[in-house]
Amino acid sequence: MKYKIIACDMDETLLSSDATICRRNIEAITAAIAKGVKFVPCTGRGFRSIEGVLRTLGLYDQADQYVIGFNGANITENKGSRSLFWDPIPFDLADRIFHRCCAYGQCMHIYTRDVVYITNI
């Protein structure tokens, strides 16, 4: 069986608890990519926040390689950070969630396409 794509969660799957990728996984991923397999990191984070992972795997700024970000709300081609799909939650819902969290003093990570805002760390 020839695999065409490996879509992999990042935190505590691809990344160890210290946010590194073990050498064995880097070698296996590199070998798969060399055979034409697409390795697609999947994360709740935005594309720009995983640049280090892409560099480690040799995927940074590579054409025809992708990241699924924001828990599936964004698909980005690595070359030129080109967004292919973008489906954020509507602003009115985000605003209601924001105000509810503020009322309870909750920590929030608010992601836009390019920036992360954090409140109440």
Domains and CATH numbers, the chain: 5-86 (3.40.50.1000), 88-121 (no CATH)
pLDDT tens by residue, 43-52 = 998 898 899 9
Would you say 120 and 105 are in contact if contact means Cβ atoms under 8 Å apart? yes
Model pTM score: 0.86
Read off the pLDDT of residues 73-109 as tens digits, 9 standing for 90 and up: 999 999 999 999 999 999 999 999 999 999 999 999 8
